Amino acid sequence: MEWILEPWPWYVSGPLIAGIMFLLLFGGKNFGMSSNLRTMCTIGGAGKKADFFAFDWKSQRWNLVVVAGAIIGGFIGANLLSTDTAVIINSETVTTLENMGFESAGEAYLPAELFATDALTDPKSLIILLIGGLLIGFGARYAGGCTSGHAISGLSNLQLPSLIAVAGFFIGGLVMVHLLFPLIF
Amino acid sequence: MKYLKFLAIGILFGIVMYKSEAASWFRIFEMFRFESFHMYGIIGSALTLGVLGTWLIKKYKLKSIDGEPIKFTPKDKSFSRYMYGGILFGLGWALAGSCPGPIYTLIGAGYISILVVLFGALIGTFLYGVFRGKLPH
């Protein structure tokens, strides 16, 4: 059982993700995480500002419970199921990141330069995280889904809209990493 | 406790996101540089099984545990909203290094700073709701 404390390989993780989608389908629901952001906006009173948020959020309560589970699962994964949380990425990627100023590459789960609690006092890190979040929230709702709704559920159902969305995800990601990162970092 | 099963599914999802390292900013960066098979293997194997299982559910008209037929809601036909929205999402995915699921996983893993990403995502969702009438769909 030692393997469980190691990072899980793709051929274990991928099938488990498919399994989660099927568990939800057999539970009578669809796998989609970004719709929770809309639900949270509605709970916060956004329905007064835009009709998009005027819906009965209680029908989405089950998905908020999935969110609560994901938080607990993250705690378990990090604290009970891991001995070393460093992500061993390709050594070439490490070199690239070190040249960009990411000293924590290959030694941490997330880059300390962006995600360490004291990085929150750095306006640049704060703005990067905030803008990243803005794009995620705006883009996911505009596209009608995120990685779980489009790349997993939608593509599994061979839907053309999801293929277009996933192509968009990759265009955006490639532009960010290859064209914008050299300007940002 | 009809919600208990969803809590269990969520916990499994959170563990898988963390242990697969799909919640790691580094893995997303590495994926977009094509320097590892890891993320492609995760998405590819999930999809292979996903396509197969979805086909089987439809072929044998399988039912959920409540006895209801399993429904797949087709997305509306369009190009612009999926492409434009997808590109914006991709920019954010690479910049913050996490998508909407792993945000919660990382909160549980103890990264306070991910709350800034969550806050941004809520503002982004809100802005979409306000301006959606003015956007090409």
Q: Using one digit for the tens of pLDDT, what is the confidence trace for A110-154?
A: 999 999 998 889 999 999 999 999 999 999 999 999 999 999 999
Rounded-to-integer distance, Cα B96 and Cα A147, Å: 14
Distance of CA A8 to CAs A70, A77, A106, B130, Å?
A: 17, 11, 16, 41
- Chain A, 12 to 51: residues with Cβ < 8 Å from chain B are 12-30, 33-34, 36-38, 40-41, 44, 46, 49-50
| Short-list A15, A85, A57, CA closest to B12 | A15
Give the model's pLDDT for residue B74. Answer: 87
Whose tokens are 């001995």? That residue is A83
Which DSSP string corresponds to A65-128? HHHHHHHHHHHHHHHTS-S-------HHHHHHHHHTT-TTTTTSSS-HHHHSGGGGGSHHHHHH
- Report which residue type is found at A44: G
Quick check: ipTM above 0.95?
yes
**Taking phi first (over 0 means left), then psi (-120 to 50 degrees means alpha), and beta for anything else, what does residue A45 get?**
left
- Cα of first residue to Cα of last residue in chain A, in angstroms, is 41
CA gap B115, B117 in Å, rounded: 5
Residues of B in contact with A117 (CB under 8 A): 112-113
Closest residue, chain B, to A4 (C-alpha): B19
Distance CA(B131)–CA(A81), nearest Å, equals 43
Q: Give the Cα separation of B119 and B132 in Å (integer).
A: 20
What are the backbone angles phi and psi of residue B42, rounded to the nearest 5°? -60, -55
* pLDDT value at A1 more than 80: no
pLDDT tens digits, one per residue of B36-75: 999 999 999 999 999 999 999 999 999 999 999 998 988 9
Average pLDDT over all residues of chain B = 96
- Å between A182 CA and nearest CA of chain B: 12
The model's confidence at residue A76, banded by pLDDT at 50, 70 and 90, is very high
CB-nearest to B130 from A33, A50, A131 is: A50
* Calpha distance A41→A43 (Å, rounded): 5
